[in-house]
Amino acid sequence: MIGALNILYLTDNCFLKEKRTKYVIQQDTKDKHLKDIFLYILKNGTATRATLAKTLRISAPAVSSLVDEEIKMGLLNEYIEGKNYNVGRPPVTLKVNNSVINIPVIIFKRSGFKFTLYDLSFNELETFFVPYISDFTDGINYDENIVTPPKLIPTNIVVDSIIDILDKRSKIFVKSKMNALIISFPGNICEGSKFFVSIPMRAQISYDVLEKLQKYYDNKPLLFGNDSLFYAYAERNFNNTSLKDNKQDDLIFININIGIGAGIIYNGELVTDLITSEIGHITINYNGVQCQCGSRGCLERYININILINEVKNEIKNGRDSEVIRLVNYNINALSLNELRLAYENNDELVCEIIKKAAEQLAFGISNMVSIFTIKNIIIGGGIETLGNKFLETVIAKSKVVGLRQLMNDIHISYPQKGVNGESIGAIRYYIEKYLKIDN
């Protein structure tokens, strides 16, 4: 069976160390070997008992016994490849059994939930988007120029919406197969807090949401984490660089969408005990624009998707001409990053002016992060990559003329390799690799 866990927080500034110690760190040797065998096969696709014994340095009899247990649990399948002409037992290949378990990932976006269902091998089984009902968003003012307190979303609305997605809207989700529920949230997540606040969403939800969901789903494990941290974990081991004097596993993922957050991989592991996800609230202008957080001059008040689009819209309303007007057939409300990318690539004066300024401001933010963390592999994504390679090239160029030269000369800035699905991929990978508990 898969061992039960309590609610787990993948958090930017604190961690449930007691629960982490109890359920994850203090595993006996057998549990560790069961997990090592499973993860090796998961990573490599297939393996034989002999390969497992040699690679993991576990005795052959022990490997055989442990593998047999995982087969009985339904986690592994075995089969014989091709024909065997030798005397004795033919080699048996092991693979992960993807039919026994499914794991749903629910992502809070500004306008709705994104749902994705995965199997044990990170294969996407189903995905769709569900807009929030009116009771969820009523009373929220998304005007970037108005500072408003985050709205507390009633617990029953959040819980009922997620249950509706899983039990009614999904065509293939099976409650009895669910191993865990994973929720990604674009905001501050802290142990002991009664509420989880998202400044970009202008909303907060109660801790009761998690308890009620876990109770409804038979106390299955629930992992609740910040979106930027999941994005960063998705890039772990996938983003290769040619950096000198810097570990390739170390990276800072800057998540730019309706706000700005960051996730950090250090020594190959996700940093969860620092306030990294709120990096958008570092100040680049102490006398600057008022932010929703209450401060002034925060980075995310100068560069996020909505800010860029609104700046172009406002300039057009004030009489400026731009190619984007024709690209949206004179419906300026339909303006998106796709039109900004096309106009930028065509050297549209207005769009170039706004995007170059944003790239420079982002470069200052990157310089601050590199100075603090001394990590030089920088990935920018979360949605902003829609602006295309020219924007990336501009950010790289601007970064070469800001900050401390000794730190900034050899940084590597790129877009994510896992793309727009990185958030859910990082979430499922983190849960399976770190928290999936295999025992009898």
pLDDT in tens, 42-58: 999 999 999 999 999 99
**2 belongs to a structural domain:** no
Contact 429, 122 (CB under 8 A): yes
Full-model pTM: 0.87
pLDDT for position 268: 84
Query: How many domains, the chain?
Result: 3
pLDDT digits (tens, 9 = 90+) for 180-202: 999 999 987 765 668 888 888 88
Low-confidence ranges of the chain (pLDDT < 70): 1-27, 81-90, 190-193, 237-248, 273-277, 439-440
Domain match, 157 and 54 both: no
Domain match, 247 and 346 both: yes
Looking only at the bridges linking them, the beta strands covering 151-152 and 203-206 are: parallel
Domain match, 62 and 144 both: no
Q: What phi and psi, each to the nearest 5 degrees, are found at residue 79? A: -155, 160
Domain match, 24 and 113 both: no
- Cα 332 from chain centroid? 31
**Residue 70 is which amino acid?**
E
**346 belongs to a structural domain:** yes
The enclosing H or E element of 390 equals helix 389-399
Contact 66, 30 (CB under 8 A): yes
Domain match, 410 and 429 both: no
Q: What is the DSSP letter of 132?
A: P
The enclosing H or E element of 203 equals strand 203-206
pLDDT for position 274: 53
Domain match, 201 and 252 both: no
CATH number, domain at 22? 1.10.10.10
Full domain range(s) for residue 145: 103-231+423-434
pLDDT for position 114: 97
Q: Where are the alpha helices (DSSP H) in 148-188?
A: 155-164
Structure tokens at 17: 């160390």
End-to-end CA distance of the chain: 6
Number of Cβ within 10 Å of residue 316's Cβ equals: 16
Integer Rg of the chain from CA: 24
Spatial separation of the C-alpha atoms in residues 230 and 228, rounded to whole Å: 5
pLDDT for position 355: 96
Domain match, 87 and 158 both: no
Return the half-sphere exposure (C-beta side, CA atoms, 13 A cut-off) of residue 30: 9
Whose CA is closest to 153, among 145, 162, 144? 162
Domain match, 124 and 263 both: no
Among 96, 116, 135, which residue terminates a domain?
96
**80 belongs to a structural domain:** yes
Q: What phi and psi, each to the nearest 5 degrees, are found at residue 125? A: -95, -30
pLDDT for position 229: 92
Domain match, 151 and 245 both: no
pLDDT for position 9: 60
The enclosing H or E element of 79 equals strand 76-79
Among 37, 70, 96, which residue terminates a domain?
96
Number of Cβ within 10 Å of residue 90's Cβ equals: 12
pLDDT for position 240: 46
